[in-house]
Amino acid sequence: MADFLDVIIVGEVNLDLILYGLEESIPLDREILATGFEMTLGSSSAILAHNLAVLGRRVGFVTRYGSDAMGQIAMERLTEGGVETSRSIKCGESAKTGVSILLPHGSSRRILTYPGAMFAMTVEDLDLEYLASARHFHLSSLFLLRGLHAGLPALVRELKRRGLTVSLDTNDDPDNRWNGVLRELLPFVDILLPNENEILAMTSSGTLEQALDRLSGQVPLIAVKCGRRGAVVQQGRHRFVAQPLAVNPVDTIGAGDSFNAGFLTAWLAGAAAESCARAGNITGAFSTLKPGGTEAFRDRAAVTAFLRTHRFHGSV
């Protein structure tokens, strides 16, 4: 099966526990009642793997998870989505699967994460031949994959040497430092997929224009996710805005990962940057219509209908 993979993603897996309807300010020592609850496959890497597979890409996902119920449910969801998980590692009793508790407050939200078993993954856990059997390598949540940092630049350099292309969505840096392994990896990255806050932080810039000016010489293709304003893309010297779809979101959790899924699907099909950004806006918007980042994509008929309506580029 490994011979036929389009994309390999090495990354974290967890369930998202989403509590709706809570006030932004939460008092101590009180019982606080949410108005709604969802438990769904979460984590940037796993959401992308799941949604890319639903969009028709052949995806291999390598992670570490605990031998607990949360890990079992998360891995089942990935398999149902069509993701190849044979190289993922089930850890012993002492390791727990990661978990995130999310509190959406309108367009903002709190995310509380226990990274769990994935924190301990190192490059020694990875099979280079398996990774190199794909066309494309993607990393999400770079700053959560701490155990991987030591060997990652050499690994990615080797994958590039073997002809793979590489994309990166760092997501947030919990330490807010934005350096170290990121600086070492950038020279090997073909596509960078940050949101607006992230690109400002990683370039110490005050405006998006300045941030793109600073990075455009280092990364050939940058798609910046701007929530309800769509995306801004820089390819070499060419910069353009990709307009969003008009939707009424349930929540925007995982919209960025779903944008990545659409963008990469079109890119792997050979589409121009404009079509890739449009594809990302379609799948990002679609994700907001159901809770979390994967629920919308579990309804295959709804996926097909939405993509058809919006003329998504790439086969499904």
Residue ranges binding ligand ATP (CB under 6 A): 171, 195, 225-228, 230-231, 244-245, 247, 249, 252-257, 259, 280-281, 284-285, 288
Given Mg ion, ligand ATP, none, residue 244, with its beta carbon under 5 to 8 Å by kind, binds: ligand ATP
CB of 73 vs Mg ion, minimal distance in Å: 23
CB of 141 vs Mg ion, minimal distance in Å: 9
Q: Give whichever of 135 and 228 is closer to ligand ATP, judged by the CB atom.
A: 228
Of 66-74, 166-174, 262-270, 292-300, the segment contacting Mg ion by CB under 5 A is 166-174
CB of 248 vs ligand ATP, minimal distance in Å: 8
CB of 31 vs ligand ATP, minimal distance in Å: 28
Q: Give whichever of 47 and 131 is closer to ligand ATP, judged by the CB atom.
A: 47
In terms of DSSP bridges, do strands 191-192 and 165-169 run parallel, antiparallel, or are they unpaired?
A: parallel
Identified binder of Mg ion from the candidate list 42, 115, 227, 256, rule CB under 5 A: 256
Given Mg ion, ligand ATP, none, residue 281, with its beta carbon under 5 to 8 Å by kind, binds: ligand ATP
Given Mg ion, ligand ATP, none, residue 247, with its beta carbon under 5 to 8 Å by kind, binds: ligand ATP
Q: x-or-dash pattern for Mg ion, window 137-156, by CB under 5 A?
A: --------------------
Site for Mg ion in 170-229 (CB under 5 A): 171
- Give the CA-trace dihedral at 40, 46, 48, 49, to 10 degrees: -120
* φ, ψ of residue 142 in degrees (nearest 5): -50, -40
- Long-range interactions of 287-291: CB distance < 8 A, separation 24+: 287/51, 287/252, 287/254, 287/255, 287/257, 287/258, 287/259, 288/247, 288/249, 288/250, 288/251, 288/252, 288/255, 289/247, 289/248, 289/249, 289/250, 290/250, 291/18, 291/38, 291/40, 291/250, 291/251, 291/253
- Judge whether 76 and 70 are in contact, CB under 8 Å: no
CB of 50 vs ligand ATP, minimal distance in Å: 13
CB of 196 vs ligand ATP, minimal distance in Å: 7
Q: Give whichever of 148 and 233 is closer to ligand ATP, judged by the CB atom.
A: 233
**Whole-angstrom Cα distance, residue 161 to residue 173?**
28
- Judge whether 64 and 91 are in contact, CB under 8 Å: yes
Interacting residues with Mg ion (CB under 5 A): 171, 256
